[in-house]
């Protein structure tokens, strides 16, 4: 049994930009709480949290890690997260598991790209937030400027809870705003009024009392802060140097006393049912991370919201609707596990080797909303290096898919490529390194092929006779065909009529390709038994393409006449004749290449709007609209050809200094402009063979 209650738990995710000192601080907190006999260090590879080989090599967190400590009677679970936008998926999972997001800010760098992003994500998750202004011991710190920037970007409810005595080399202690014991770099008591305003805003009763007396007692201040943090009316700022261990004890005190407990943040299931964190209530829990450890095997990190999750029990996976067998449960100290018999509301545990349990799955009685992971946008076509790699590649990539919700693998039907998607080139590179290390699979990559298509814009007519009489039995088939362009929005029943198509006997319409094969044969000139072979020949040719090897769509092929031979005609002969006849007629029907256009939504700080729209124009894109988003951001919506967006992640990052993000969704096909058409055609070999 746990020696603490749900009310005593504080779940805190450390988020923010890379290099702000999150992992260093987490290691120090563990040391100060007596978990470790010395503070682990990112720099010498002894961190309890950055334990993966890739993390040690890069001296930077890549995945989230969970650890725990006890301070002032409170059980504090800390989830350390990576700080670069490439790994935001890890942050999304971590935020699902906690009540508080601690946003770490490097005082000498101020608000950085991921400071903003993670701050906004924490707001979306409805969490309490604190800011840790770290690295205040460095040179060139301007406290006033930092504070002004934080309040400017994140709001005037970001208020210091303590103040550094000095910044830079002279930083040696912090002074509390509520009970100042000396002077600070700015006057600590100058923040009391703002602090009070934020506190009363969160509590109507307190507000009324305050209006009468115009005073709050010290107890009211103390009790009011956690409520205001939970309600989001106050974001306290703690001043710290993780490297020099200044303000860290005060931070620990603050985490224990001021951060919300699982009781303080109201959770709801996907259908809106309120969840009470009662250990005797119905079980509600969710997997927020999956890790496939080369030694321990598969681990699901589970956050319990209600009820008690017991080891060796069978529970319902609400997401899949199937029961899962829970074996061992462990609490985590980085990658070290310690068995626990059960987990109460607020607990974070790792379930080991549970088949069929995945990230985002809900366990127990209610379904939680699936975690909203960022969408991966950068694609690589991948190939195994050797045939031995060929056999292992799917399994190895499937493991990554399990672990990382911002990674996906697809087999592109048209281009026959295996394409992996990730947040950035760096993200994909690190994941492919993991595949190489863990599963010994070497992978090569290149830009994915664009799935162009072919269509015709006019109409044509022609015939082909296939005749072969070398030795043995001969082959004979003759087909006469017409090909027309087919508009996209037709209703087949109204469109394919005898008035429009003379002698129409039957049609087969394929809505995916917007293609129809029409049997308009009169007088049995093509015997009925060979008509399916004709259609097959046409369809096979359409898959192979005519102009440049891409799938043909948006047309009608009409078979209206033919000839057969009583002995030499067979299905193969008709298929062959149909294939060549279709090719020839299609070429006469003003064929064109189509390219995929995608719908794009770009989120950027408003000041980059001009640069982004002119860049979009040079990519043959067009804007469709614009919305204002929070924090001075603008969302630009539009369409652009997929081929022009292959390096968009890099370009957007360079225009916006890493502050932009975008999503694309498949849109529709459009005719490629003539000058661009030439570029695609000149890259394909088939053209020469055909343009004769």
Ligand X SMILES: Nc1nc2c(ncn2[C@@H]2O[C@H](COP(=O)(O)OP(=O)(O)O)[C@@H](O)[C@H]2O)c(=O)[nH]1
Which residues of the shown chain bind Mg ion in the complex (CB under 5 A)?
Answer: 22-23, 61
**Pick from 588, 334, 372: nearest CA to 461:** 588
Tell me 570's DSSP state.
-
- Binding partner selected for residue 448 from Mg ion, ligand X, none, CB under the kind-specific 5 to 8 Å limit: none
- Binding partner selected for residue 138 from Mg ion, ligand X, none, CB under the kind-specific 5 to 8 Å limit: ligand X
Using alpha carbons, list the distances in angstroms from residue 38 to 34, 41, 45, 52, 494: 9, 9, 13, 20, 79
Residue 134 interacts with ligand X (CB under 6 A)? yes
User: The tokens of 305 are what?
Assistant: 């919201």
Question: Residue count at the site for ligand X (CB under 6 A)?
Answer: 19
Give the x-and-dash track for 184-223 against ligand X (CB under 6 A). Answer: ----------------------------------------
Contacting range for ligand X; rule: CB under 6 A; set: 131-139, 206-214, 359-367, 605-613: 131-139
What is the arrangement of strands in the sheet containing 378-384, beginning at the earlier edge strand?
408-411, 418-422, 378-384, 443-446
For the four alpha carbons of 10, 15, 18 and 20, in that order, the dihedral sign comes to negative
- Binding partner selected for residue 160 from ligand X, Mg ion, none, CB under the kind-specific 5 to 8 Å limit: none
User: The tokens of 324 are what?
Assistant: 């899962």
Give the separation between CA 262 and CA 306, rounded to whole angstroms: 10
Helices (H) and strands (E) in the chain, counts: 18, 35
What is the arrangement of strands in the sheet containing 158-160, beginning at the earlier edge strand?
65-71, 74-80, 9-16, 100-106, 128-134, 235-239, 158-160
Q: Strand 443-446 and strand 633-641: pairing?
A: unpaired
What is the arrangement of strands in the sheet containing 322-326, beginning at the earlier edge strand?
322-326, 313-317, 362-364, 284-293, 297-306, 348-352, 329-333, 336-340
**Residue 553 CB contacts under 8 Å (≥ 6 apart), including other chains:** 453, 454, 455, 513, 514, 515, 542, 594, 669
- Binding partner selected for residue 445 from ligand X, Mg ion, none, CB under the kind-specific 5 to 8 Å limit: none
Under 8 Å between Cβ of 196 and 207: no
Contacting range for ligand X; rule: CB under 6 A; set: 21-29, 165-173, 384-392, 545-553: 21-29
Residue 379 interacts with ligand X (CB under 6 A)? no
Of 61 and 77, the one with the shorter C-beta distance to Mg ion is 61
Residue 60 interacts with ligand X (CB under 6 A)? yes
Residue 24 interacts with ligand X (CB under 6 A)? yes
Of 108 and 589, the one with the shorter C-beta distance to ligand X is 108
Of 51 and 663, the one with the shorter C-beta distance to Mg ion is 51
Entry field: residues in the chain: 692
- Smallest separation, CB 26 to ligand X (Å): 8
Residue 42 interacts with ligand X (CB under 6 A)? yes
Of 138 and 677, the one with the shorter C-beta distance to ligand X is 138
Give the separation between CA 140 and CA 39, rounded to whole angstroms: 27
* Closest chain position to ligand X (CB): 21
- Binding partner selected for residue 19 from Mg ion, ligand X, none, CB under the kind-specific 5 to 8 Å limit: ligand X
Residue 78 interacts with ligand X (CB under 6 A)? no
- Binding partner selected for residue 43 from ligand X, Mg ion, none, CB under the kind-specific 5 to 8 Å limit: ligand X
Of 44 and 205, the one with the shorter C-beta distance to ligand X is 44
Residue 242 interacts with ligand X (CB under 6 A)? yes
Residue 117 interacts with ligand X (CB under 6 A)? no
- Smallest separation, CB 42 to ligand X (Å): 4
Residues 684, 686, 690: CA angle, nearest 5 degrees: 135
**Can you list the alpha helix ranges (DSSP code H) found in 22-168?**
22-32, 53-58, 88-96, 113-124, 143-154
- Binding partner selected for residue 135 from Mg ion, ligand X, none, CB under the kind-specific 5 to 8 Å limit: ligand X
Residue 83 interacts with ligand X (CB under 6 A)? yes
Using alpha carbons, list the distances in angstroms from residue 637 to 354, 603, 604, 617, 668: 42, 9, 11, 13, 15
Exposed e or buried b for every residue in 592-624, given b needs 16+ CB within 10 A? bbbbbbbebbbbbbeebeeebbebbeebbbebe
Residue 334 interacts with ligand X (CB under 6 A)? no
Among residues 21, 188, 247, 591, which is the contact residue for ligand X, using CB under 6 A?
A: 21
Contacting range for ligand X; rule: CB under 6 A; set: 13-21, 63-71, 179-187, 410-418: 13-21
Among residues 3, 43, 215, 271, which is the contact residue for ligand X, using CB under 6 A?
A: 43
Among residues 6, 36, 61, 333, which is the contact residue for ligand X, using CB under 6 A?
A: 61
Of 135 and 453, the one with the shorter C-beta distance to ligand X is 135
Of 25 and 598, the one with the shorter C-beta distance to Mg ion is 25
- Binding partner selected for residue 656 from Mg ion, ligand X, none, CB under the kind-specific 5 to 8 Å limit: none
- Smallest separation, CB 83 to ligand X (Å): 4
- Smallest separation, CB 86 to ligand X (Å): 12
Of 92 and 324, the one with the shorter C-beta distance to Mg ion is 92
Give the separation between CA 35 and CA 43, rounded to whole angstroms: 20
Give the separation between CA 53 and CA 622, rounded to whole angstroms: 44
- Binding partner selected for residue 242 from ligand X, Mg ion, none, CB under the kind-specific 5 to 8 Å limit: ligand X
In the complex, the residues that contact ligand X under the rule CB under 6 A are: 18-24, 42-43, 60-61, 83, 134-135, 137-138, 241-243
């Amino acid at each position: 049994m746990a020696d603490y209650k749900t009310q005593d738990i504080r779940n805190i995710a450390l988020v923010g930009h890379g290099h702000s000192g999150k992992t260093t601080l987490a290691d120090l907190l563990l040391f100060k709480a007596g978990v470790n006999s010395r503070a682990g260090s990112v720099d010498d590879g002894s961190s309890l949290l950055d334990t993966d080989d890739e993390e040690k090599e890069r001296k930077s967190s890549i995945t989230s890690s969970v650890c725990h400590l006890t301070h002032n009677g409170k059980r504090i679970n800390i989830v350390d997260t990576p700080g670069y936008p490439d790994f935001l998926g890890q942050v999304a999972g971590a935020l699902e598991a906690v009540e508080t997001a601690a946003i770490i800010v490097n005082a000498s760098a101020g608000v950085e790209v991921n400071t903003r992003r993670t701050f906004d994500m924490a707001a979306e998750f409805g969490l309490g937030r604190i800011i840790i202004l770290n690295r205040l011991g460095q040179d060139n710190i301007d406290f006033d400027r930092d504070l002004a920037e934080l309040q400017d970007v994140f709001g005037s409810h970001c208020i210091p809870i303590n103040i550094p005595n000095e910044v830079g080399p002279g930083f040696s202690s912090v002074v509390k705003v509520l009970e100042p014991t000396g002077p600070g770099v700015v006057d600590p008591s100058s923040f009391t009024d703002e602090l009070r305003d934020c506190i009363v805003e969160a509590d109507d009763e307190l507000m009324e009392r305050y209006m009468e007396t115009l005073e709050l007692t010290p107890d009211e201040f103390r009790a009011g802060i956690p409520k205001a943090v939970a309600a989001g009316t106050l974001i306290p700022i703690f001043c710290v140097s993780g490297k020099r261990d200044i303000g860290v004890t005060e931070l620990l005190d603050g985490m224990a006393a001021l951060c919300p407990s699982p009781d303080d943040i109201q959770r709801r299931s996907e259908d809106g049912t309120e969840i009470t964190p009662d250990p005797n209530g119905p079980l509600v829990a969710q997997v927020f991370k999956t890790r496939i450890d080369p030694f321990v095997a598969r681990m699901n990190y589970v956050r319990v919201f209600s009820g008690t999750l017991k080891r060796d029990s069978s529970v319902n996976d609400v997401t899949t609707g199937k029961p899962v067998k829970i074996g061992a449960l462990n609490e985590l100290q980085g990658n070290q596990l310690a068995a626990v018999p059960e987990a109460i509301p607020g607990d974070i545990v790792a379930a080991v080797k549970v088949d069929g349990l995945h990230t985002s799955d809900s366990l127990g009685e209610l379904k939680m909303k699936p975690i909203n992971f960022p969408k991966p946008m950068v694609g690589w076509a991948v190939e195994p290096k050797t045939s031995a790699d060929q056999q292992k590649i799917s399994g190895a990539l499937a493991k990554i898919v399990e672990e990382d919700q911002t990674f996906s693998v697809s087999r592109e039907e048209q281009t026959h490529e295996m394409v992996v998607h990730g947040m950035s080139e760096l993200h994909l590179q690190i994941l492919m390194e993991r595949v190489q290390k863990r599963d010994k699979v070497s992978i090569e990559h290149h830009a994915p092929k664009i799935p162009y298509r072919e269509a015709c814009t006019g109409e044509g007519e022609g015939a082909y006779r296939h005749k072969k009489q070398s030795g043995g039995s001969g082959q004979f088939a003759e087909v006469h065909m017409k090909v027309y362009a087919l508009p996209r929005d037709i209703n087949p029943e109204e469109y394919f009529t005898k008035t429009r198509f003379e002698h129409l006997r039957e049609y087969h319409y394929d809505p995916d390709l917007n293609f129809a094969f029409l049997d308009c044969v009169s007088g049995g000139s093509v015997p009925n038994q060979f008509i399916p072979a004709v259609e097959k020949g046409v369809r096979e040719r359409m898959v192979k393409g005519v102009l440049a090897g891409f799938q043909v769509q948006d047309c009608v092929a009409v078979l209206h006449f033919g000839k057969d031979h009583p002995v030499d005609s067979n299905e193969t002969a008709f298929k062959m004749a149909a294939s060549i006849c279709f090719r020839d007629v299609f070429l006469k029907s003003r064929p064109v290449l189509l390219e995929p256009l995608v719908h794009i939504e770009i989120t950027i700080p408003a000041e980059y709007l001009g640069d982004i729209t002119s860049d979009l124009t040079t990519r043959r894109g067009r804007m469709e609209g614009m919305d204002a988003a929070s924090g001075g951001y603008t969302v630009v919506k539009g369409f652009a050809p997929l081929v022009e967006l292959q390096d968009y992640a890099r370009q957007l990052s360079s225009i916006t200094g890493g502050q932009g993000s975008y999503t694309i969704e498949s849109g529709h096909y459009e005719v490629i402009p003539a000058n661009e058409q030439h570029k695609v055609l000149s890259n394909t070999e088939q053209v020469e063979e055909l343009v004769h």
